[in-house]
Amino acid sequence: MIRMRRLRKTPALRQFVQENTVTVSDLVLPLFIKAGHHIKNPIASMPGHFQLSLDQLPAEITEIQALKIPAVILFAIPAKKDAIGSCAWDDQGVIQEAVRFIKKTAPEILVITDLCFCEYTDHGHCGVWDADKKCVDNDKTLELLAKQAISHAKAGADIIAPSGMMDSMVQAVRVGLDAAHFQDIPILSYAVKYASCFYGPFREAAEGAPQFGDRKSYQMNPANANEALKEAELDALEGADMLMVKPAQNYLDIVYRMKQAFPEMPLGAYQVSGEFAMIKAAAEKKWIDHDAAMRESLLSIKRAGADFIITYFAKEFARLQ
């Protein structure tokens, strides 16, 4: 008889032979930065998270430092929106100001900036809308993505993360950054971003829901897996330094396949707002154990192959360590 249970007999034995571990150093915390003053708006569907104005950042960053969370990713809620999202490349914009503040007061924290237009456009789509074709104009959007990336880099962003799923977005950002002498800024590409229903709470938080239509003409079909590898391959060829899969929990097969296909590239996975909210809601009903579900969900993402995880659980996980 082969007795597999021998190595499960005690907590010490189980820990000794454990194959995968999640630590705080694996996590990235999303922050929602809103134009204005004295703003700390709770996000109803995401307990424990807030829209924060710049004057609320000092306390937030102090807490992040105390919890030893190594990185944040920033999302904007600007004061003004227009058809092309022009606030996105304003050097005095809310994200640019947030980056400058964080890098001045907490230079050890990695600052990742999300590069998209859904939060900046009055129509809520991820680029320049072509009314005649009733879709996002890919190539016009690329020009503006490069401008946004350069503005973020000038502010001091450590990592630029294009998320709009435009064709050749990584190439456009890389060429733009290099031409502006930011050749050392790495690109984290949202290489595989599905048109998922699990983004709902985020769209409330970032005030970026599309005002008409959907994003299925640029985000990926949840039914497709081989397409994900092609998307990632193209982004790698265009100059991406890191790749990401979004969402994470329902796409662990994609996380696994991505890591197998591109073992040399750092791989992130985004545990999105809906995944977070489901655990919160079930735990509130006492149907599941909150902390156990949180830990298991993060461990499963790491086990599938993610090198780092963007998660709304970052603070809560850190407090338990």
Integer angstrom CA distances of residue 309 from 51, 75, 79, 268: 21, 16, 30, 6
**What one-character-per-residue DSSP string does 216-276 give?**
TTTSBPTT-SHHHHHHHHHHHHHT-SEEEEES-GGGHHHHHHHHHH-TTS-EEEEE-HHHH
Give just the sign of the alpha carbon dihedral 305, 311, 314, 320.
negative
Distance, in Å, from the CA atom of 187 to the CA atom of 112, rounded to the nearest integer, reads 9
Distance, in Å, from the CA atom of 184 to the CA atom of 158, rounded to the nearest integer, reads 9
Residues 130/46, Cβ–Cβ less than 8 Å:
no
Instruction: Choose, from 246, 259, 280, 315, the residue flagged as catalytic.
Output: 246
Rg of the chain's alpha carbons, rounded to an integer?
20
**Burial bucket for residue 78 (CB in 10 Å: 0-12, 13-18, 19+):** buried
Which H or E run contains 135? strand 135-136
CA end-to-end distance (rounded Å), the chain: 38
The verdict on whether omega for the bond into residue 11 sits within 30 degrees of 0, i.e. cis, is no
Structure tokens at 86: 């022009």
Instruction: Choose, from 34, 193, 280, 315, the residue flagged as catalytic.
Output: 193
User: Phi/psi at 140 (nearest 5 deg)?
Assistant: -65, -35
Residue 134 has what DSSP assignment? T
Which H or E run contains 302? helix 290-304
For the question of residue 230 being annotated catalytic, the response is no
For the question of residue 81 being annotated catalytic, the response is no
Residues 6+ apart with CB under 8 A from 92: none
Active site (catalytic) residues: 193, 246
